[in-house]
Amino acid sequence: MGGPTNRKSRKSTVVNSPELRGLLVFLASERGLAENSLLAYRRDLEDLERFLALRGRGLLSADVDDYRAYLQGQSRLGQSTRTVTRRLAAIRVFLRYQQTIGHDTSAILEQLDRPKPERSLPMVLSKAQVLLLINTPDPMSPLFFRDVAILEMLYAAGLRASELCDLTLRNLNLSVECVRVMGKGMKERIVPIGQAAVESMERYLAECRPRLDRRGSDRVFLSRTGRPLERIALWMLVEKIVRKSGLLAHVSPHVFRHCFATHLLGGGADLRVVQELLGHSDVATTQIYTHVDQSRLKAIHEKFHPRG
């Protein structure tokens, strides 16, 4: 039983292309690559060889248009950006190896573009789902007013978890309904908050926080023991509220920030304004939320339109 299987396995590792065989020998002997890495290079480049053969080309006779056509075809076939990037890396390794043995492949290397990495769309809840979470904390809990204020502030101001935990009393200005936030890179921004967040903060500051503050802390949000609320405790609190709500989704504090941005843009807010409110240094970072809203609208159209 063992003999035939082993012979079949050895036969499957035979590399017919002399160009590819030379590369694999080089990578094994000079670079010391592991067998799995060599196998990955071989599979990617053999896939390329099959494509080039249909165009009447080989690894050495292909030009930059052939390589580009291959990579573009991979994307059209539904290969992930990670796979396309890996196959581009294999092509680059092959072309650089050819340079070491006297073939001039510099022009092709310079013209091959690296695929842009995929950016997954952030998770966003509907307005009704956000309201459900805000209404979930137990009114009988001694931390009820604090928990509601936390959720309201996350949604009203689009704060990062660290920004909410670091928020100090002197950075609150409830009379003008705004909060001063110290973001990444110590970049300061002023963010307006709505009436619902103001009212929840006023209740928390008047009826809950004085009982928690046993140390004279300047932090707005305190733990049950009176210490400043930490990020891990905030994450655990949000997870607890999500479980209690019955919402079948993994919701972190950062999801409220995604909801803040997406709902603003969906309501007609200017992209540059949302960029400032979020504290993004580059508007390109904010633009992902326009894709989220378009994706949501498309999904609604497909679900409810009679010709969807």
Give yes or no: 257 in active site.
yes
Give yes or no: 289 in active site.
yes
Give yes or no: residues 207 and 176 share one domain: yes
Is residue 2 included in any domain, yes or no? no
- pLDDT on residue 291: 75
Cα(36)–Cα(19) distance, rounded to whole angstroms?
Answer: 19
Predicted confidence (pLDDT) per residue in 205-232, tens digit: 999 999 999 889 999 999 999 999 999 9
Is residue 191 included in any domain, yes or no? yes
Predicted confidence (pLDDT) per residue in 80-115, tens digit: 888 888 989 899 899 898 888 888 888 888 887 655
Give yes or no: residues 148 and 297 share one domain: yes
**Is residue 283 very low, low, confident or very high in pLDDT (cuts 50, 70, 90)?**
confident
Give yes or no: 184 in active site.
yes
Where among 79, 111, 143 does a domain terminate? Answer: 111
Catalytic option among 119, 184, 215, 272: 184
Cα(24)–Cα(43) distance, rounded to whole angstroms?
Answer: 11
Catalytic option among 87, 146, 160, 209: 160
- Other Cβ atoms within 10 Å of 91 Cβ, number: 22
What is the CATH number for 25?
A: 1.10.150.130
Predicted confidence (pLDDT) per residue in 26-63, tens digit: 888 888 888 888 888 889 999 999 999 898 888 888 88
Is residue 122 included in any domain, yes or no? no
Give yes or no: 254 in active site.
yes
Give yes or no: residues 152 and 230 share one domain: yes
Q: Which two tokens stand for residue 74?
A: 């991979």
Counting beta carbons within 10 angstroms of the beta carbon of residue 164, is it exposed (0 to 12), middle (13 to 18) or buried (19 or more)? Answer: buried
Catalytic option among 42, 257, 258, 263: 257
Q: Which residues pair with 222 in a beta bridge?
A: 228
**Number of domain units in the chain:** 2
- Burial code (b: 16+ CB inside 10 Å, e: under 16) for 97-134 equals bbeeeeeebeebeeebeebeeeeeebebbeeebbebbb
Is residue 222 included in any domain, yes or no? yes
Catalytic option among 41, 67, 97, 289: 289
Catalytic option among 57, 180, 227, 254: 254
- In this prediction the pTM is 0.61
Give yes or no: residues 132 and 107 share one domain: no
Give yes or no: 280 in active site.
yes
